[in-house]
Every structure is written in C-alpha cells, then in structure tokens.
C-alpha cells in the first residue's frame, strides 16, 4: 500500500466522525457529583409529591367531586379531570387508598403533610391502607405507633401487624377484587436492618437537601436542619454496625487505628 493509501485508510469514516462529534468525553466524578445530587433531589421530590397527590385525591373523593360533576365513578372522573397527569383508573384507586391512611394519620396528629420527614414510606402508606381497610382506624394507628420512628415501610408495618393484630381466621379468604391492593407490587423482602439503614440515610439526604436549598432562607431553619443532620449522623454508627458483617467491621476498625 502506498503512503497515500495508508493515510486514507487511517481516516475515520463519516459515521465515526459523527459519533465523535456527538458524544462528549465522560465527565469526572467531581463534575458528575452536582448532577447526581440534583437527580436524587428530584427523585425525592417526586416521592413526596406522590404522597401529597394521594392525600389530595382522597380528599376530592370524600368530597364527592365526581358526583358534583355528574360522574358515578371517582377514578373515571379523576382520569378525565387530570388527563395531563396520565393517570389510570387503577392508579387512582390505589392512590386513594394510601391517601385515606395518610389523612387519618394527619387528622390524629401522627404526621404533618407539609413536613416530608414525618411521612411514611410509599410502601408503608400502602401497607397501612390495607390494615385500615381490614381492621379499622384504631388498628392502623396502633400499627403506625409500633413502627420505628421515621421508618414506616412495608416490612415494619408487616412486623407490627403480625405482633398486634389477631391472626386471620380459618375461613377461606374471599377472592381478590380489582379494588384490592395487588400483592405482586410489594417489594421483595429486605432485612429490617437494611431497611432501617436505607431510611436513616434517606433522612440524612433530606437534611442535606434542606440545607443546600436554603441559601436565602431563614437562618433559623437552616440551623434546625443542620442540628437534625448532626444528631442523625451521630446515630448512624449503631445502624451501620447492625448491617456490616463482623469481618468488614473489624477491617474498618483496623484501618481507623482503633
């Protein structure tokens, strides 16, 4: 091959040139950190917004909004009224069930819907709604109170329900209806220690989010969030100890020189 031919062969194809022009070089971890933080903040905002949406939909259902607008079915009315939200009738039913539990907890002073740190987890609200439907308001409140503070998720609600509520009768359970919660949507079983760690870390993220978003806010609110963060950070060690294997914990102790 002539020198000119070798030079031509080394030239990138038009497709390769287009890819190189379209795809920028990977960012460094330092450059990615703000983007990851913003994405996590947006995800947590979506999670909190879904809880408020559930409570709002339940309030509309209890107020008979669908009847006022001449509809027999609230889910059908909500789907049509909030068409821009891409809701389905099944999703509205499930949100309303969770909303009923959230409104009960709000009414009885267990949570504050304006403070996301008091809200149960999404799976926790769904599990409490099942307790509420099957056993009544007082049972749902008792189960909520028995869950670890700030750690109301499906697993802790299930454990509290098993300890406090009577076992099911021997009579066969009725066939599930479309209006009942779908068991297949429940998350896989996770050890309670791991769930507690996740909840603890999530609260730390929330405190940091409050601090980072309070540049021009009331300094008193910033100080309060900072103090909460420090308290939870100090309490993180025993939560970690319950999850870390003994070998890993010993390794960490050696590295720290303890």
In whole angstroms, what is the distance from residue 145 CA to residue 158 CA? 13
pLDDT tier for residue 151 given thresholds of 50, 70 and 90: confident
* 8 Å CB contact between 61 and 74: yes
What mean pLDDT comes out for the span 138-158? 91
In whole angstroms, what is the distance from residue 178 CA to residue 165 CA? 25
pLDDT tens digits along 196-240 = 777 677 667 666 656 665 545 567 767 777 777 788 788 888 877
What mean pLDDT comes out for the span 114-136? 90
* Residue 238 pLDDT: 83
Q: Encoding tokens for residue 36? A: 């990851």
pLDDT tens digits along 26-52 = 889 888 888 988 887 787 777 788 899
* Residue 181 pLDDT: 43
In whole angstroms, what is the distance from residue 37 CA to residue 33 CA? 6
Say if pTM beats, i.e. exceeds, 0.85: no
């Amino acid at each position: 091959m002539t020198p000119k031919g070798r030079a031509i062969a080394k030239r990138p194809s038009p497709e390769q040139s287009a890819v190189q022009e379209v795809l920028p070089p990977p960012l460094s971890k330092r450059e990615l950190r703000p983007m990851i933080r913003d994405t996590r903040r947006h995800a947590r905002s979506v999670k909190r917004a879904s809880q408020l949406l559930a409570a709002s939909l339940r309030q509309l259902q209890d107020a008979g909004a669908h009847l006022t607008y001449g509809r027999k079915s609230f889910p059908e009315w909500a789907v049509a009224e909030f068409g821009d939200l891409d809701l389905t009738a099944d999703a509205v039913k499930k949100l309303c069930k969770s909303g009923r539990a959230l409104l009960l907890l709000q009414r009885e002073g267990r949570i504050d819907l304006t403070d996301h740190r008091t809200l149960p987890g999404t799976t926790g609200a769904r599990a409490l709604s099942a307790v509420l439907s099957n056993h009544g308001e007082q049972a749902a409140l008792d189960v909520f109170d028995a869950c670890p503070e700030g750690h109301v998720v499906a697993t802790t609600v299930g454990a509290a329900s098993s300890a406090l509520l009577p076992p099911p009768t021997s009579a066969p359970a009725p066939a599930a209806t479309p209006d009942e919660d779908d068991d297949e949507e429940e998350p896989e079983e996770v050890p309670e220690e791991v769930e507690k760690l996740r909840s603890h870390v999530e609260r730390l993220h929330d405190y940091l989010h409050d601090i980072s978003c309070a540049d021009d806010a009331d300094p008193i609110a910033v100080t309060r969030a900072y103090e909460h963060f420090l308290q939870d950070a100090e309490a993180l060690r025993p939560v970690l100890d319950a999850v870390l294997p003994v070998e890993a914990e010993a390794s960490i102790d050696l590295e720290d020189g303890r």
